[in-house]
Amino acid sequence: MSLIATDIRVSLGRKEILHAVSVEARAGEITAIVGPNGSGKTTLMRSLTGELPSRGRIALNGRDIARMSPEELAQRRGVLPQAAALSFPFTVAEVVRIGVEARGERAEALVPAALAAVDLPGFSGRLYQELSGGEQQRVQLARVLAQVWQPVDADGPRWLMLDEPVSSLDIAHQLTVMRLAADYAQAGGGVVAIMHDLNLTALFAQKLVLMSGGRVLCQGRPGEVLTDDSLSLAYGCRLRVNAVPDSGIWVLPHAAA
C-alpha cells in the first residue's frame, strides 16, 4: 500500500506554486520531504492530506482522496500541522481526545498511552497554554497519534502526516519523536514528514523527496538524494556531505535505535 501523487499542481491566484509534482510514499517506511524555505513542502503536504485543492491525482492506499469523505480521510491519516493555536484553556487530555475516533472507555485509555508515547506521562490535567512550545508540539503529536493509533487495521495501513514534527524540540525529544515515527512505520503504517534537519533525516528516513522552487529535484534513498551537487543546487549555498567543517566540531546523534 502506498500514497501516490501524480502531476500535482497548486496555484495561488495566477501563480502556480507546485509544478507537476509526482511522489510516492510506501507504508512501512518514513518518507521525508526536505528542501529550503518556500520550496513548496507544506503546500505539497496539505495537498497530500486533502486539505488544499490541487490538480492531478492523489491516491491513498489505492483510493482517490478526492472521492473520500472527511470522515474516511480521518480514519486513514492523522495530520500534524506546523503550528496549532488554541483560543480556549483546554487541558492536555482534552486536546488529545480531539484525535480519538471513538469516545468513552477506549478514548480514556488512549489518552495516557498517547501521552506516554511522546514522553509526557502525567500531563493529562495540565493546561495546554501553560506548557512550553516543545511540550505543546508533543501534545499535538499525541493527538494525531491517538487518531490513527493502530498502524494497520482491516482496511490497510494508516498514515502519520507530520509537518516539521521536531522543530521545537531538544535533541533527546527529537530522537523520541523520530523513534516513535520509525516504530509506527516498522509496524506497517506509513509516515510522511517534512524535515529541516538533514542529519536527523538521514538517520531515520528510508526515502527522501528533495524540493526546490515548487518542484521535485530528486527523490530516492538518502544516499541517492543527499549529495553535494543536489543539496547545493536546492539550497543555493555550498554544502558538502560527510565532510568535517573547518571548525572541526559538529554534534550529531549517532543512533536511530
Per-residue pLDDT tens digits of the chain, which is 257 residues long: 899 999 999 998 889 999 999 999 999 999 999 999 999 999 999 999 999 999 999 999 999 999 999 989 999 999 999 887 787 889 999 999 988 864 445 677 889 999 999 999 999 999 999 999 999 999 999 999 999 999 999 999 999 999 999 998 999 999 999 999 999 999 999 999 999 999 999 999 999 999 999 999 999 999 999 999 999 999 999 888 887 777 777 777 776 65
What pLDDT, on a 0 to 100 scale, did the predictor assign at position 85?
77
Radius of gyration of the chain from Cα atoms? Answer: 18
0.85 exceeded by pTM = yes
Decide: 43 and 10 in contact? Cβ < 8 Å.
yes
Q: Which three cell numbers stand for residue 140?
A: 499535538
Q: Which three cell numbers stand for residue 38?
A: 518556500
Which of helix, strand or coil describes residue 205? coil
* CA dihedral over 175, 176, 179, 180, signed as positive or negative: negative
What pLDDT, on a 0 to 100 scale, did the predictor assign at position 257?
54
What pLDDT, on a 0 to 100 scale, did the predictor assign at position 5?
97
Superfamily for domain range 2-84+157-235 = P-loop containing nucleotide triphosphate hydrolases (3.40.50.300)
Q: Which three cell numbers stand for residue 147?
A: 487518531
Q: What is the DSSP string of 63-80?
A: EEGGGS-HHHHHHHEEEE
State which amino acid sits at residue 236. G
What does residue 159 show for φ and ψ, rounded to 5 degrees?
-135, 135
What pLDDT, on a 0 to 100 scale, did the predictor assign at position 102?
46
Decide: 36 and 236 in contact? Cβ < 8 Å.
yes
What pLDDT, on a 0 to 100 scale, did the predictor assign at position 228?
93
